[in-house]
Structure 1
Amino acid sequence: MATLDLKQIRKTYRNAETETLKGIDISIESGEFLILVGPSGCGKSTLMNTIAGLENINSGEIVIDGRDVAQVEPKDRDIAMVFQSYALYPNMTVRGNIAFGLKIRKMPQDEIDAEVNRVAEMLQIDELLDRKPSQLSGGQRQRVAMGRALARRPKLYLFDEPLSNLDAKLRVEMRHQIKRLHQQLNTTIVYVTHDQIEAMTLADRIAVMKDGELQQLGTPKEIYNSPNNMFVAGFMGSPSMNFIKTMVDLDANDNPVINVTSGEGEQYSIALPHSMREQDGKQVVIGLRPEHISEKLDDDSQISTKLDLKLEVLEPTGPDTIAMVKVNDQEVACRLSPEFDAHVGQVAPLHFDLSKAVFFDAETENRIEFA
């Protein structure tokens, strides 16, 4: 286990007009599972490669257990990396692939055998030790790649989109495997993915990146419930958060409200939390997760408004049904109970739980903070 501190990491490729990494600061505790997430081209894989030493940084510090390794060769950083492509030696058996790094370090053969058997049993691939990679499925190859990394017992493990080549069922199985391994070994892991479901289910903390900048660093619960800005709010969650752009007004009793229009032209006035009074006359964006718009009223909700809205699209998923409606000429996703007898074209009474809403500045797209 090891701590990792990334201090003002900057990276610019030759002839590039803009920085790829723009002053990244992240501190990772020993035994922590950190996930770097973001869209393609956001810099997450580049950041991973700089930690591994596969790419140089222009400035900053990469500190592992108090030692700056930014100028240290990759082989001397005591890091193991699991790649998207598995990177197995095709001419070696599973046993040979797992043992390769240990042989390079000139460990005694009996210790190598014991370590290979330990890792193979942990990953449930002990019956595959004498097979070649070409004889394995994608999930089995990925476990072999993980076994090769685990056998080295390094200070830090790096996973670069390890599940992206697997089908949906295998991805779920491998997520469980990786989660279980981390709980057993309590190792320090940095994991790159573009899949926000992987990020939410695996991470102790998530670092959301965009255009080479860190947008937010926090627990999955913090990222999901209290996003720093509209990018983070829209990126995390499936379906993503609904954004309703509107104007804040005060009603006859000086209470903050918004006025919205349904797809059928019906006008509604929706009460807002009292703290929104200071936004009177300003354009804001209300962020609501689909589960906070439903046919059922949350018993804990203190601010809820019922709107009669036409169900325009229905997507049954099993545990719930995603319905699309229109508010202020914008498509809004709702999460309905599977027991609710819904059909396309039906006008249904839906409760908007404003106590769970997140409010954003319409210009900056940053979350509005309340005292």
Structure 2
Amino acid sequence: MATLELNQIRKTYRNADNETLKGINISIESGEFLILVGPSGCGKSTLMNAIAGLESISSGEIVIDGVDVSNVEPKDRDIAMVFQSYALYPNMTVRGNIAFGLEIRKMPKVKIEAEVNRVAEMLQIDHLLDRKPAQLSGGQRQRVAMGRALARQPKLYLFDEPLSNLDAKLRVEMRTQIKRLHQKLNTTIVYVTHDQIEAMTLADRIAVMKDGELQQLGTPKEIYNQPNNMFVAGFMGSPSMNFIKARVDLGEHDNPLGQVWTADGQAHQINLPDRLRKFDGETIIIGLRPEYITEQSTEEGRTWTEIPMKIDVLEPTGPDTIAIVEINQQHVACRLSAEFDAKVGDMVPLYFDLSHAVFFDVKTEMRI
């Protein structure tokens, strides 16, 4: 286990117009599982490669356990990396692939055998030790790649989109495997993915990146419920957060109200927090996740607003149903119960739980 500090990490490629990494600052505790998440081209894999030493940095410091390794060769950083492509040696057995790094380090054969058996049993691939990669499924190959990294017992583990080549069912199974491994070994892991579900289910903390910049660093709950800006709010969650424009008006009792219109042209008022008084006469954006727009308002202690809505689309998912409605000429996703009896075109009362709403400035897209 090791701590990792990324101090003002910048990266500019030769002949490039823009910086790929723009002053990234992240501090990772020993035993922490940090996930770097963001869309393609955001710089997350470049940052991962910089930590591993596979990419040089233009400026800044990469510090592992208090030692600046910014200019240290990859082999001397005591890091193990698991790649998207598995990167197994096809001519070697599973046993040979796991043992290879230990043999390079000239570990005694008895210890190598013991370590290979330990890792294989942990990953439930001990019955595959004499097979070659071509005889394995995608999930088995990925476990062998993980086993090769685990056998080295380095200070830091790096996972670069390790599950992206697997089918949906295997991805879920491997997520569980990785979660159990981390809980058992308490290792320090930095994990890159573009899959926000992986990020939410695996991470102790999530670093959301966009265009080479760190947008937010926090726990999955913080990222989901208290996003810094509209990009983070829209990127995390499936379906993503709804963004509803609303004009703020101070009502008769000097309370801020938001005006919204439904598809039938009817105007509706919703109560807004007192802190939005200063936006009187201006338009703001209400961020509300689909699970807070439902067909029932049974839970006490919440601020419910009832609005009759016309169902445009219904998407049954099994445990629930996603309904698409229209507010202010925008499509809005609602999460209804699987048993809810409604058809496309029906007018139904839907309840908006505004106690979980977040609000954004239209101009800056930052959370108010």
TM over 0.5: yes
Alignment of 1:1-371 (within 5 A): 1-368=1-368
**Equivalent pair of 1:273/1:303 in contact (CA under 8 Å):** no
**Equivalent pair of 2:36/2:193 in contact (CA under 8 Å):** yes
Instruction: Give the aligned residue type for 1:290.
Output: P
Alignment partners' CA distance in 1, 2:27 and 2:121: 33
Q: Deviations over 1:295-337 (max 9, x none)?
A: 1115234422100000110000111100000000000000001
Report the 3-state secondary structure (helix = DSSP H, G, I; strand = E; otherwise coil) of the residue aligned with 1:89: coil
Give the percent of matched residue pairs that are identical in Structure 1 and Structure 2. Answer: 78
Alignment partners' CA distance in 2, 1:140 and 1:232: 34
Q: Deviations over 1:82-106 (max 9, x none)?
A: 0000000000000000000000000
Alignment partners' CA distance in 2, 1:342 and 1:349: 11
* 1:351 shift after superposition: 0.5
Alignment partners' CA distance in 2, 1:227 and 1:136: 41
Alignment partners' CA distance in 2, 1:285 and 1:267: 17
After superposing the two structures, state which structure 1 stretch, 133-142 or 299-308, moved more: 299-308
Instruction: Give the aligned residue type for 2:242.
Output: N
Alignment partners' CA distance in 1, 2:167 and 2:35: 21
Report the 3-state secondary structure (helix = DSSP H, G, I; strand = E; otherwise coil) of the residue aligned with 1:344: coil
**Equivalent pair of 2:80/2:158 in contact (CA under 8 Å):** yes
Instruction: Give the aligned residue type for 1:359.
Output: F
After superposing the two structures, state which structure 1 stretch, 88-97 or 274-283, moved more: 274-283
Report the 3-state secondary structure (helix = DSSP H, G, I; strand = E; otherwise coil) of the residue aligned with 1:17: coil
Instruction: Give the aligned residue type for 1:323.
Output: A
Tell me how large the CA RMSD over aligned residues is: 0.7
After superposing the two structures, state which structure 1 stretch, 291-300 or 154-163, moved more: 291-300
**Equivalent pair of 1:35/1:193 in contact (CA under 8 Å):** yes
**Equivalent pair of 2:247/2:260 in contact (CA under 8 Å):** no
Alignment partners' CA distance in 2, 1:300 and 1:169: 37
Report the 3-state secondary structure (helix = DSSP H, G, I; strand = E; otherwise coil) of the residue aligned with 2:244: strand
Alignment partners' CA distance in 1, 2:281 and 2:300: 29
TM-score (norm 2): 0.99
Instruction: Give the aligned residue type for 2:351.
Output: H
Report the 3-state secondary structure (helix = DSSP H, G, I; strand = E; otherwise coil) of the residue aligned with 1:5: strand
Instruction: Give the aligned residue type for 1:193.
Output: T
Alignment partners' CA distance in 1, 2:278 and 2:296: 30
Instruction: Give the aligned residue type for 1:264.
Output: D
Q: Deviations over 1:231-273 (max 9, x none)?
A: 0000000000000112111111111001111111111111112
Report the 3-state secondary structure (helix = DSSP H, G, I; strand = E; otherwise coil) of the residue aligned with 1:245: strand
Q: Deviations over 1:20-76 (max 9, x none)?
A: 000000000000000000000000000000000000000000000000000000000
Alignment partners' CA distance in 1, 2:2 and 2:281: 51
* 1:150 shift after superposition: 0.1
Instruction: Give the aligned residue type for 1:209.
Output: M
Alignment partners' CA distance in 2, 1:300 and 1:55: 53
Instruction: Write out the 4+ residue segments of structure 1 that deviate beyond 4 Å after TM superposition.
Output: none
Alignment partners' CA distance in 1, 2:354 and 2:81: 44
* 1:160 shift after superposition: 0.0
Report the 3-state secondary structure (helix = DSSP H, G, I; strand = E; otherwise coil) of the residue aligned with 1:170: helix
Instruction: Give the aligned residue type for 1:53.
Output: G
TM-score (norm 1): 0.98
Alignment partners' CA distance in 2, 1:307 and 1:201: 33
Q: Deviations over 1:121-180 (max 9, x none)?
A: 000000000000000000000000000000000000000000000000000000000000
Instruction: Give the aligned residue type for 1:150.
Output: L
**Equivalent pair of 1:298/1:353 in contact (CA under 8 Å):** no
- How many residue pairs match? The answer is 368
After superposing the two structures, state which structure 1 stretch, 164-173 or 290-299, moved more: 290-299
